[in-house]
Amino acid sequence: MKFQRMFSFSAQTDFCGRRCVWVNGPVIVGAGPSGLAVSACLKEQCIPFVVIERADCIASLWQKRTYDRLKLHLPKKFCQLPNLPFPEDYPEYPTKKQFIAYLENYAQKFDIKPQFNECVQSAKYDEACKLWRVVTASTSGSETEYICQMLVVATGENAEGVVPEIDGLEEFSGEVIHAKDYKSGQKYTGKKVLVVGCGNSGMEVSLDLSNHNAKPSMVVRSSVHVLPREIMGKSTFDLAMMLMKWLPLWLVDKLLLMLTWFILGNIQKYGIKRPSLGPLELKNHHGKTPVLDIGALEKIRSGEIKVVPGIKRFNSNSVELVNGETLDIDSVVLATGYRSNVPFWLQETEFFAKNGFPKTPFPNGWKGKRGLYASGFTRRGLASASADAVKISQDIGKVWNEEFNHKKKKLHILRRCISTF
């Protein structure tokens, strides 16, 4: 049986003037890949749900806050969502436009229709009623309160850009943007641009700037692992996963670093230091993703991308570095990472930590208490988000079926009682 209506709502408003909606199933906060994956898995089980999305489209991070040249860093088989593979004619590393098209097709195939332009203000478990109360505000200013038994947090690890406090940054007279607002290096042609950060975003923004004949300087303050995207024609990630089936993690790290040295050479002489922990161990213990090189190192070797140490302070049109050097610059791109926004709206501290991630370590951080779930917070990419979605939907399905059978049994008893009179 298919549900034609995913939720019902009362025609009345509460004393605060907000609309109240009873959701006969879970509320899913976030219509990115994680939220879509959970929705599709629930739809396959005919379980009703509501998806709340603050933007006016699905996958708003991909559609509105990524640069034009972006491609998936991992092969497409590790990035597909449950029950729908990528089209066969897609390349091994789909482009931003291709991935967005895939997600839009995914939402259409599973008939996922989020409540757009609704930003969650608060979500709190009501102990008296044993229900979740999720209050949203629309772009028009109206408020809605969704009442449900289960809440799925799928807002992701990268909901908000991190802007660090740097001495003198407010005095800098040039343009300062976060990497989430960077689209292309086209408008920076001939300009001196300081890229703050050396992760995947920092490396790729620097590469894009160089390709558009800008003059990028990339701040490398801490150590970072840089690996080739492919080793001997095979995805580095795919190779690592294959090796981990047979070898311990520390040995796989050793092999990856040895192969990387043969391919990329000694990158420390360019100012890029490697961490003491191996790339996989660092990812597992601290969630720090290694950089997969797609051409930035070649530009660094040629001097087209300049590597500089940490920042001491900004001036009106320059930056002072910790080594005493001063650089004249025109613009700044802050590739300083992202953070979860869960602590700003979820009034719960038992399952989620202050940093907006589940306290329970991987692989058990997908389920809390009182019907609370988390999808896409493992720091292990889209494959892990898909695995979360499958587990969450199966768990909700189990609860749903138990409640359905219980209600069916009560209805059967009621009918028997009526028939005796």
Query: Looking at residue 13, what is its pLDDT?
Result: 55
Asked, for residue 178, whether it belongs to a domain, the answer is yes
Amino acid at 270: Y
DSSP 8-state assignment for residue 352: B
pLDDT(368) > 80? yes
pLDDT in tens, 135-157: 999 988 899 999 999 999 999 99
Average pLDDT, the chain: 91
| % of the chain exceeding 70 in pLDDT | 91
Query: Looking at residue 6, what is its pLDDT?
Result: 43
Asked, for residue 212, whether it belongs to a domain, the answer is yes
Whether 28 and 93 share a structural domain = yes
Whether 87 and 131 share a structural domain = yes
**Least confident segment among 43-52, 109-118, 255-264, 398-407:** 398-407
Residue from 149, 142, 155, 180 nearest 53 by CA = 155
The model's confidence at residue 1, banded by pLDDT at 50, 70 and 90, is very low
Asked, for residue 400, whether it belongs to a domain, the answer is yes
| % of the chain exceeding 90 in pLDDT | 85
pLDDT in tens, 149-201: 999 999 999 999 999 999 999 999 999 999 999 999 999 999 999 999 999 99
Whether 46 and 76 share a structural domain = yes
Query: Looking at residue 399, what is its pLDDT?
Result: 84
Asked, for residue 198, whether it belongs to a domain, the answer is yes
Whether 345 and 332 share a structural domain = no
Query: Looking at residue 7, what is its pLDDT?
Result: 45
Whether 85 and 210 share a structural domain = no
Whether 216 and 139 share a structural domain = no
Could you give the number of structural domains in the chain?
Answer: 2
Asked, for residue 366, whether it belongs to a domain, the answer is yes
- With vertex at residue 375, the alpha carbon angle to CA 229 and CA 341, rounded to the nearest 5 degrees, is 90
Whether 184 and 332 share a structural domain = yes
pLDDT in tens, 390-411: 999 999 999 877 766 655 555 5
- Of 336, 363, 392, which residue constitutes the final position of a domain? 336
Strand, helix or coil for residue 131: strand
pLDDT in tens, 327-338: 999 999 999 999
Whether 330 and 191 share a structural domain = yes
Cα(27)–Cα(261) distance, integer angstroms: 48
Asked, for residue 246, whether it belongs to a domain, the answer is no
Whether 30 and 111 share a structural domain = yes
User: Which pTM does this prediction carry?
Assistant: 0.90
Query: Looking at residue 402, what is its pLDDT?
Result: 72
Whether 170 and 105 share a structural domain = no
Asked, for residue 5, whether it belongs to a domain, the answer is no
Instruction: Tell which phi-psi region holds residue 215, choosing left (phi > 0), alpha (psi between -120 and 50) or beta.
Output: beta
Cα(358)–Cα(373) distance, integer angstroms: 9
Residue from 270, 264, 257 nearest 294 by CA = 264
Whether 76 and 212 share a structural domain = no
Query: Looking at residue 404, what is its pLDDT?
Result: 61
- Residues 71-88 have a mean pLDDT of 95
- Of 276, 311, 336, which residue constitutes the final position of a domain? 336
Whether 386 and 368 share a structural domain = yes
Asked, for residue 272, whether it belongs to a domain, the answer is no
CB 330 within 8 A of CB 342: no
pLDDT in tens, 206-265: 999 999 999 999 999 999 999 999 998 899 999 999 999 999 999 999 999 999 999 999
pLDDT(2) > 50? no
Read off the CATH number of the domain in which 202 is found: 3.50.50.60
Cα(398)–Cα(418) distance, integer angstroms: 30
pLDDT in tens, 375-391: 999 988 999 999 999 99
- Residues 341-361 have a mean pLDDT of 94
Query: Looking at residue 310, what is its pLDDT?
Result: 94
Q: Which domain holds residue 92?
A: 19-159+340-415
Q: Which residues pair with 216 in a beta bridge?
A: 193
Cα(341)–Cα(159) distance, integer angstroms: 6
Q: Which residues pair with 331 in a beta bridge?
A: 175, 193
Give 124: exposed, middle or buried? Use CB within 10 Å, 0-12, 13-18, 19+: middle
- Of 310, 336, 362, which residue constitutes the final position of a domain? 336
* Residue pointed to by tokens 């996922």: 112
Query: Looking at residue 10, what is its pLDDT?
Result: 41
CB 333 within 8 A of CB 182: yes
